[in-house]
Amino acid sequence: MNSNQFDPNTKKIEGLERKIVTALWIQLLGQIMEAKYTSDLFALQNGAKGEKKISFGQWVGVVGQGLEAIGATKELVSTDRDIILSAQRIAINGNLLQSLGSALEAVGSEEVLIDELVTGIQEFIP
């Protein structure tokens, strides 16, 4: 949140910050849908080890995206410095979880790909 009221760009900056927060919530919804549908798909396919890692990684990413959205929202609506700093920490932790989730997905995807090469049975890797 920009605290300089005299900057001619303050209103534009605040508008962009609101749009970013909105985009974070939209991303969360999309990630929830992807994780849910992927979990359902892998359950029907008896979820091999790599598929379970992909699904788990997606859900870790969902939690991370949720934390980022919550943190950014708190930062946007607050004027208290301590609350803003706490909100920024929440958002950063969310980003860390998203990175961990992506790493798990990548490892799981590689395992599925190796299984495909060995068995010749092609799987869908989201």
pLDDT bucket at 99, cuts 50 / 70 / 90: very high
For the entire predicted model, the pTM comes to 0.89
pLDDT bucket at 126, cuts 50 / 70 / 90: confident
Which residue, chain included where needed, has tokens 């985009």?
23
Per-residue pLDDT tens over the stretch 41-81: 999 988 788 999 999 999 999 999 999 999 999 999 999 99
**Residues 119, 4: Cα–Cα separation, whole Å:** 62
